[in-house]
Chains A and B, each alone.
Chain A
């Protein structure tokens, strides 16, 4: 199967700063792929190159098999973009925003009106059609941006931090809509720094750090490969730090979050039993590892081996 997006040695430099440092990746039809990484990792810069709004410094980038620097119009006609920043048109109502945007794709007016009505239904904004966008809540604005990005019936949908700043209800509503879109077969590329978001909706995750892709796989694969079976969480009693350090230093990866220690092991129960005989804890538990553990391990923050 031919990839929908194909990047090889993709590089973007701003003066002396390298934002994207020779990355290779491919996105296949029907996938929901997430770019995960801390702020400044190069996610949005990568997205901007895919959407043909920022030229490459070096490397190859093809979307739908077309070079981004030679066929930006054909590519953009088939992409839907929901940017990180809210750039709805504040001078217009909800419906006028969609109608104006549809014109940029040279869609006939009747067709735009038909699609706009369907999409407002899809994002549950039908009653707000004639409301000024200035009077929408943050969640409604994000939903309108999602609707706008679907006006041209894109083959590829690009969502740059689609739920940043939303409350849990607003976030869940967006996730649910993205799942509905995936059912319809659309390919989705999403950037986020919310681990839960990536775990909830992505088939495959690319973790970026300092301009490079440092890991790739499904959420389960990433957890299995980079963290292992279980996480032992303990809070030692005062003065017991040295004792616990002696037990785990050099044997298994761990990290300290305040007074809590998280120890990554394959068999949590036996490790905890052994530790309990030598160190006094005020509390202890075992949990399943999650993507956040992977992320923190790979991006190297607060982590000691």
Chain B
């Protein structure tokens, strides 16, 4: 039975996402733009984790003896990688996607071809996840140069960054589908992203928070789960309990991704 007759039976138009590998042509477009500005996109962001390490690891860290049996620098290194994963995808699929959608009309140009809107949005989210993996690699490179982790663990960080990236890219795309104008990204950034950055266990162990805040953090903040897995991985303390955190992230990504497709469809197809 085709889509038309199903919709006819239901009495209204049903939304069913149509996805194909064409989404990668959209990913490729974003990748090509990134490549043109390789140094701006790749080298300059390296400064940020270096500054964080200087200010927090080697500055503030002087006053912190050890956390969980490691130096403060080693403690925050996985957190910095996780923060880069979150920002990479969320920024790409909020501000950057909004500019492409609203100002550059790039999405309009693409949906005039056999690529449909679901594939455009999926391609953007895949690219957002790729940005997370790239940004995580940059930060990981810096912290391993400082001897704060073993380069070998990049093999685990990359798939984790991509999964976290899919999740945060979908969140970014959901906000893109909802904001009336670009200024309104202040809401998700200041009410969600910044609190998440500060309260997800990057800068201090989440266990020292009051119990209620701890469970709030693990309920509301995907970053808390991400930091926990990244830290266990980079300090080589993996345990079976982390499967829960991994499943939690995968579950949220699995809900957020189709929701992002649906909401963008609702916004753009009129």
Contacts and interface: CB of A to CB of B under 8 A. Distances in A.
Interface of A: 14, 51, 53-55, 67, 69-70, 72-73, 76-77, 79, 81, 83, 85-92, 96, 100-101, 103-106, 152
B36 A91 contact: yes
A89 B269 contact: no
Contact of A87 (B3, B4, B104): B104
Nearest to B2: A70
Given A69-B4, A83-B109, A91-B36, A106 B269 contact: no
Given A70-B2, A76-B112, A76-B113, A89 B25 contact: no
Contact of A53 (B4, B13, B25, B269): B269
Contacts of A53: 108, 111-112, 269
B32 A152 contact: no
A69 B32 CA distance: 32
Contact of A54 (B2, B114, B270): B270
A100 B100 CA distance: 15
Nearest to A82: B112
A104 B123 CA distance: 12
B150 interface: no
Contacts of B13: 55
A72 B33 CA distance: 28
A100 B114 contact: no
A143 to B, nearest CB: 16
B106 A105 contact: no
Contacts of A104: 22, 25, 110, 113-115
3 shortest A-B CB distances, which residue pairs?
Answer: A87-B105, A104-B113, A81-B112
B114 A105 contact: yes
B114 A73 contact: yes
Contacts of B28: 100, 103
Nearest to B18: A73
9 contacts: A70-B2, A70-B3, A77-B113, A83-B109, A86-B105, A90-B104, A96-B32, A103-B28, A103-B29
Contacts of B33: 91-92
Given A76-B113, A85-B108, 8 more contacts: A77-B113, A81-B112, A83-B105, A83-B109, A91-B33, A103-B28, A104-B114, A105-B113
Nearest to A14: B270
Contacts of A96: 32
A83 B32 contact: no
Contacts of A76: 112-114
A51 B105 contact: no
Contacts, number: 71
A248 B25 CA distance: 65
A73 B108 CA distance: 15
Nearest to B105: A87
B112 A55 contact: no
A284 B111 CA distance: 54
A86 B111 CA distance: 14
B177 interface: no
B113 A101 contact: yes
B71 to A, nearest CB: 42
A233 B22 CA distance: 60
Interface string B79-118: 0000000000000000000000000111011111111100
B112 A100 contact: no
Contacts of A79: 112
A87 B25 contact: no
Contacts of B106: 87, 89
B173 to A, nearest CB: 19
B39 to A, nearest CB: 16
A92 B100 CA distance: 13
B32 to A, nearest CB: 7
A209 B25 CA distance: 39
Given A14-B270, A83-B112, A106-B22, A67 B105 contact: no
B112 A51 contact: yes
Nearest to B20: A73
Contact of B108 (A67, A83, A103): A83
A72 B269 CA distance: 14
Nearest to A48: B270
Contact of B29 (A85, A89, A105, A106): A89
A96 B106 CA distance: 14
B14 to A, nearest CB: 12
Contacts of A105: 113-114
Interface in B56-87: none
Interface in B21-43: 22, 25, 28-29, 32-33, 36
